[in-house]
Amino acid sequence: MPIFLLISRHSPENCPMFNEKAKKVFLEYSSKIPAIMKKYGGKMLGVYGVHTEHLTVSIIEAPSLEAFQKASMEPEILALNEYESYEVKLAYSGEDAMKMLKAK
């Protein structure tokens, strides 16, 4: 199953730690994300933050790019667009990399 790295950033003034509107949106997103991922056949594998850089990396497994994109159109996720900017990277595990190396 494809793995996606979702790299999100926000400005200091949009940090949920200090911005009440951003905090409300982020808490709503956080409470709904497991159900949203399940709805599209995916799951959140991990979320890591670098708070001094206002940067978060989420590791998401989804059955396809289409499923990932559909999940990203859910209202709770779209609401974050007011506060965050995103990069999405398609990734693979070390185990998958070893399979590719051995196949050649």
Give all domains of the chain, ordered by start, each with its CATH number.
Answer: 3-103 (3.30.70.100)
Q: Strands (DSSP E) along 1-104, which ranges?
A: 3-9, 43-50, 55-61, 85-91
State whether residue 84 is helix, strand or coil. coil
Supply the pLDDT for residue 41: 97
Supply the pLDDT for residue 66: 96
Give the integer Cα–Cα distance in Å for 2 and 19: 34
Supply the pLDDT for residue 68: 96
Q: What pTM value is reported for the model?
A: 0.86
Supply the pLDDT for residue 91: 94
Supply the pLDDT for residue 1: 85
Low-confidence ranges of the chain (pLDDT < 70): none
